[in-house]
Chains A and B, each alone.
Chain A
Amino acid sequence: GDSVTQMEGPVTLSEEAFLTINCTYTATGYPSLFWYVQYPGEGLQLLLKATKADDKGSNKGFEATYRKETTSFHLEKGSVQVSDSAVYFCALTNDYKLSFGAGTTVTVRA
């Protein structure tokens, strides 16, 4: 079945540091790929998405590119802020079913 594997955390960074969270997937067909973010005490919200190979999703300074050849969708941000502290989930949808990675906890220190 479909699955998502993402970098284990926790990740602790200083403000203005570069952030990368690795995500790889296994799926049949042509899934859509997502990054969701969960701030403390809240539900998940969509950060960015890509629906086909070579698409780049971007939002709030975060970017991720759908790489079919490496089955990857790595999340990057060039300069993180304290407000980016959250849990980040890589996910894919395939025929109504959303499969999540385990989540990566990111803490940004001032």
Chain B
Amino acid sequence: NAGVTQTPKFQVLKTGQSMTLQCAQDMNHNSMYWYRQDPGMGLRLIYYSASEGTTDKGEVPNGYNVSRLNKREFSLRLESAAPSQTSVYFCAGERYGGNNEQFFGPGTRLTVL
């Protein structure tokens, strides 16, 4: 089992460019999440998908869109990147949803110039 995988690992964008961060899991997770990690702020929830076919906003959704393509895949899209979106992005999965352990991917380090 690969667990939770993310691509790419690193990315540099110019302001205004778009890109999609990919996340896939082979752990049969029902729920999936996208977080951003910034120094001194812990992780903040961007969007989540409680189950296949549903998505909901988290704490910091502005400037992002998501797609739960199927049970395994949950992508995060930046339509017009801004320097404020420079961060490390983590995808996570949770098998039963709600109040259980989340399993994290290795992260994508994004720099927007």
Kindly identify, within residues 29 to 48 of chain B, every residue whose CB is under 8 Å from any CB belonging to chain A.
31, 33, 40-45, 48
Please report the C-alpha to C-alpha distance between residue A59 and residue B43 in the assembled complex, in whole angstroms: 22
Closest chain B CB from A43 CB (angstroms): 4
Partner of B42, one of A32, A96, A101: A101
- Collect the chain B residues with CB atoms within 8 Å of residue A96's CB: 31, 48, 50, 56, 97-98
Task: Check A94–B99 contact: CB distance below 8 A.
Answer: yes
- Are A31 and B42 also in contact (CB < 8 A) when A43-B90, A45-B104, A98-B33 are? no
State the majority secondary structure of interface residues on A: strand
Q: Name the A residues within 8 Å of B4 (CB-CB).
A: 43
Residue of B nearest to A29 (CB): B99
Residues of A within 8 A of B102 (CB): 46, 93, 98
> What are 15 A-B pairs with beta-carbon distances under 8 A?
A43-B90, A43-B105, A44-B92, A46-B102, A46-B103, A51-B99, A93-B100, A93-B102, A96-B97, A98-B43, A98-B45, A100-B42, A101-B42, A102-B42, A103-B42
Residues on A facing B (Cβ under 8 Å)? 4, 31-32, 34, 36, 42-46, 49, 51, 89, 93-103
